[in-house]
Structure 1
């Protein structure tokens, strides 16, 4: 089953007959498949080879024993350090853009909207790429940061301290979801994904309808951003952000276990950044409603 996170929907992270695309498949064999890669299985798992296909000389054995153990640098596989580093770079670029938007463009709502559009375009281009492109991911982070900087400045002027509260809340949700996932309190199963995806589709449709009513009807649309209904709607949005984080954690775990290429760590960073931005925006809107 494919991940509901759009970043992973076209990637090797989701290959396979189950929701975990990088589960080791080498033991199944690869009958009739060129290259010995199991059909529908881990694209990076190599079929087992007979170690006795080629005779070893005494000199060759000494060289093997003297050689250092193969690590990430030799295998080119993704590690948790790679994911942390790339995620740090992506979030750091996002913060730089946010500071720029907050300080230099506080009154340029139009430019902020243009930055948001560019960020959306770059995100979509990356989503349809066969391989992660760091320039696209960092470009998305920069323009998204500019938009968030202006957006947060507007909220801060109306509700003093709201952005700081939203940042702290986002960090708390990330930490809580990570602990819950590592402790296996949350298990990402196929049923879990189906339910979450259904809720996400309904949420997005409600957002679209609300925007249409706001554009052609009442200013408040369906009232999904004000009052008690707005609080419930924001809470659902935050829960969906936490759901997407759990999918991100699962995809990263499967990628590392299955030996995904190191370059895929950029894709993991992209997915985590999207989820964190989503949670931050929903929290900011919830805080504004509660403080009203």
Structure 2
């Protein structure tokens, strides 16, 4: 019932926290969304630091160092939260800032090449997120077992695709199609953006099911963390897609 293609939301996550369900202080959708907004604000805070650093220095080495540190730190904290959900309440803010440092620098790299691309990517990401939330809450699209399985399968296929292309590149294979402006490359990006967006439906459903199951309060942070993972993925994919389209102009 609670399965999601988001690796943060594992199949047994509510079962593993069942002993905490007796608490009267339980998870709510409102509380989770509030924490997600706080995490988003921290991402923006971290991003603004490396963004200003990138455009304010004669050399970008310092910003690149923060970008790498943020990426590695975000990966480590994200893995810890995924395996130990109770740490989400204090590690999620740290994760947000670290990811912000990474996103600010990588966004600045794209902005330097394509002026105005970042604000468009941010706007589209937020628009897609609000649209999917509206669609889910109004029941326009219901998260059925078939839909869930389809999204999970598509997400797994994308992960496998990225892994294969990475391995091919390590052995000197040509993977330029991943970032060029060909019709194939743009088509791949469009499909990935759609799948990433659909993952938001599963994330919203997971959070609502957590409220219905009476999950412990700290799971609000865990739910917000999982939602942020999807939003960051969606933003990066939209950013890449817009870059490919800009190269065709």
Q: TM-score scaled to structure 1, two decimals?
A: 0.75
Question: Residue 173 of structure 1 corresponds to which residue in structure 2?
Answer: 128
Q: Distance in 2 between matches of 1:203 and 1:45?
A: 35
Deviation at 1:264, TM superposition (A): 1.0
Q: In the superposition, relative to structure 1, how do residues 115 and 123 fare at CA in structure 2: closer, same or farther (>3 Å)?
A: same
Q: Distance in 1 between matches of 2:21 and 2:97?
A: 35
Unpaired stretches in structure 1, ≥5 consecutive residues: 22-41, 47-73
Quick check: 2:5–2:156 contact (8 Å CA) kept in 1?
A: no
Structure 1 position 164 matched with structure 2 position 113: no
Q: Give 1:56-67 correspondences, 5 Å limit.
A: none
Q: Distance in 2 between matches of 1:212 and 1:285?
A: 20
Structure 1 position 198 matched with structure 2 position 153: yes
SS of the residue corresponding to residue 160 of structure 1 reads coil
Deviation at 1:130, TM superposition (A): 4.3
Render the CA deviation track for 1:115-172: whole Å, top value 9, x for unaligned: 1011011101110004243222111111110010000001001000101000000011
Quick check: 1:90–1:138 contact (8 Å CA) kept in 2?
A: yes
Displaced runs of 4 or more, over 6 A: 42-46
Quick check: 1:10–1:130 contact (8 Å CA) kept in 2?
A: no
Structure 1 position 97 matched with structure 2 position 69: no
Quick check: 2:21–2:216 contact (8 Å CA) kept in 1?
A: no
Deviation at 1:12, TM superposition (A): 3.6
Comparing both chains, which one has the higher relative contact order based on Cα–Cα distances under 8 Å and sequence gaps of 6 or more?
A: 2
Question: Residue 82 of structure 1 corresponds to which residue in structure 2?
Answer: 31
Question: Residue 224 of structure 1 corresponds to which residue in structure 2?
Answer: 178
Unpaired stretches in structure 2, ≥5 consecutive residues: none
SS of the residue corresponding to residue 223 of structure 1 reads helix
RMSD (Å), alpha carbons? 2.3
Q: TM-score scaled to structure 2, two decimals?
A: 0.88
Task: Pick one of 75, 97, 100 that aligns with 1:142.
Answer: 97
Larger Rg over CA atoms: 1
Quick check: 1:241–1:278 contact (8 Å CA) kept in 2?
A: yes
